[in-house]
Amino acid sequence: MSYKDVWILGEQEEGQVKLVSYELLKRGRALADKLGVDLIAIILGKKIGKNGIRELIYRGADKIIIVEDPALEFFLPEPYVNTIEDLVNKYKPEIFIASATTTGRTVAPALAIKCNAGLTADCTGLDIEDRTGNLIQTRPAIGGNILATIKTPNHRPQMATVRPHSNKPLESDSLRTAEVIYETVDPVRLKSRVKRLEFKKNEEEGGNIQDAEIIIAGGKGFKKDDNFKMVHDIAAILNGAVGATRDAVDLGWATYPHQIGLSGKTVSPKLYIAAGISGSVQHLAGIKTSETIIAINNDPEAQIFHVADFGIVGDLFEILPLFKQKLQALKKGQETEEIQGA
């Protein structure tokens, strides 16, 4: 049996399919269509919710392979990697992509070793080479200064991880149908030397930045630590999160969990406000999929204006206090209306 089809590794938490699974389906769909093969989502868990399975179908999967077992309730490297290895050996996918989440980053390298395959981590682009049908994997290299194109012509599956939130999912199409296959796995393969003792949510400051709908981020234009407080104040009024460039983090104005970009987090908020940020390629790598970007910079030539939907050329020390005042007034107005309406 020769290698065929494109697989994505779906992820779940408490049986609910996670957003990264739908994001991967969009990447996988484009590849499968170009190759004229099926797009298959695999997902492991104790019990996968029906709504999530439906959404996997509606958002691009032609086939879904599900393995349900109490031992797969939470991600543990050995049972997950063994289970997926058995599936790969049985079905022989040509391409296997996972999200660069903790799960994906752990499963993919271990699986690549077991399958004697290559792996390109943290890809920003995936495509199919016209002439050969090989997977073209693009990722920043040499400190983000070049984009490297990597191919795996001699081994299968061709494996890659892509950054979570680096693309949006496809629209949900309720007319789509797919085959759903339930697989079982040999209990011996589910043994784990690692035990899950407890789970603590990441309460670290800035930990939720990737889920935020609004982010206001600051860069070196803030000049000093004290001034960066403005970013926190405005984020609080907007119920948003605080982001920062690497320079702002290096200067100690924000902590690393707030860093956005190539060596920080990739975010995809509805609104991204970038103040005093020049728009380096490394920073832009983390904000590309934001729905709307507003940039405030006193240099009209700043790179950030090339990606911004709205640009304000001016001094952030004049603009942000006015913005803050306006937001406070709006918020007060809303609260008064709510009290009067009650």
Placement of tokens 């004697």 in the chain? 116
Nearest distance in Å: CB 209, ligand FAD: 13
Residue 276 near ligand FAD by CB under 6 A: yes
Q: 3-class DSSP state for residue 99?
A: strand
How many residues sit close enough to ligand FAD to count as binding (CB under 6 A)? Answer: 30
Q: What angle do CA 301, 274, 334 make, to 5 degrees?
A: 135
Counting contacts by CB under 6 A, is residue 124 touching ligand FAD?
no
| Residue 302 is a binding residue for ligand FAD (CB under 6 A) | yes
Q: Is 252 in the site for ligand FAD (CB under 6 A)?
A: no
Binding map of ligand FAD across residues 128-167, x = CB under 6 A, - = no contact: ---------------xx-----------------------
Q: Which is nearer to ligand FAD, 64 or 316 (CB)?
A: 316
What is the 8-class DSSP label of residue 14? Answer: T
Q: What angle do CA 334, 270, 203 make, to 5 degrees?
A: 85
For ligand FAD, which residue of 262, 267, 293, 308 counts as binding (CB under 6 A)? Answer: 262
**Interaction residues for ligand FAD, span 4-63 (CB under 6 A):** none
Question: Which is closer to ligand FAD, CB of 36 or CB of 300?
Answer: 300
Question: Using the 8-state DSSP alphabet, how is residue 150 labeled?
Answer: E
290 close to 269: Cβ distance less than 8 angstroms: yes
With a CB cutoff of 8 Å and minimum separation 6, the contacts of 184 are 67, 69
Nearest of 138, 159, 13 to residue 84 by alpha carbon: 159
Distance between CA 249 and CA 274 in Å, rounded?
15
Query: Taking CB under 6 A as the rule, does residue 217 contact ligand FAD?
Result: no
Contacting positions for ligand FAD (CB under 6 A): 143-144, 219-221, 245-248, 259-264, 276-278, 280, 282-283, 286, 296-299, 302, 315-317
